[in-house]
Structure 1
């Protein structure tokens, strides 16, 4: 786990750093320092976050992959949604997702 994953989790729940720290049972200053890169993510902090947000290893791997792709600047492809290779955002307004997507 790294600072980007922590920030992604926190923002996906629309939480302030203080709210996040309260849920995780750690200090606000620790979260703030981790997010700016002045403190590292310890095994203890990682464990607290996993427990607080009920994250398993597969979910952590998904978050890690997502953060990695975002940091590369790779746009999500439509391949995962309907099978075509268009990327988002797309100007193609007549593109339709496959049924059920």
Structure 2
């Protein structure tokens, strides 16, 4: 059975298809437009992930590598230093600055 594979990133029905992903082929007009624009191609189901150089004894399988994941980061709330209040006698203190001397051990 053949699959429709994306050759370029395609946004279709609010879903982003990356290069090499299988596209849904439920609309013949859209499939024809992708084929005519050369943004997608039909590929056989059985030769996925296998490359050959023409000889019968050399078959190389390709390994799928997942992309690296990002580490979520956000800014810390608060300002460093003293805040002198005009309405009260007490001064407010912001967050403690990060230094090597204050790092946790």
More strand by share: 2
More helix by share: 1
